Amino acid sequence: MTQLSDTPTRYGAVSRLLHWGMAALFAAQFISAAAHWALPRENTLRELLWGYHTTLGVTLFALILVRGLWGLANIQRRPTHVGLMGQAAVAGHVVLYALMVIVPGVRLLAAAGGT
């Protein structure tokens, strides 16, 4: 049976679902942004993908908060990362988490300000 919570030897099903689900949504988000900048105006694909950009962004922002809360709830049980590669993985994830909060946070503030 699949363990929902994290253990010292393995991430649980919820952590893995949030991780890979968000990775897929971030890929879709980047594709929509790339299409917006790369394709000419009045392009059907550009407009279709850009139409999902805000919805994806808000969904991802909410999932970031859920994932952060889930991670904090499991912090004592999470697998440890040892050695230089482990430290690099932790540092990279800290930077990614910071960007996942800062970038949409700034955009939400800008939207609230009317720009």
Percent of the chain beyond pLDDT 90?
Answer: 63
Q: What is the pTM of this model?
A: 0.80
pLDDT digits (tens, 9 = 90+) for 67-115: 999 999 998 998 888 899 999 998 998 999 899 889 888 888 888 887 6
* Residue in the block written with tokens 């805000």: 54
Section 32-47 average pLDDT: 92
Domain that holds residue 111: 82-115
* Same domain for 67 and 17: yes
* Same domain for 70 and 20: yes
pLDDT range class, residue 35, cuts 50, 70, 90: very high
Q: Angle at CA 86, nearest 5°, toward 60 and 11?
A: 55
What average pLDDT does the structure give for the chain? 90
* Same domain for 41 and 19: yes
* Same domain for 87 and 54: no
Amino acid 115: pLDDT: 60
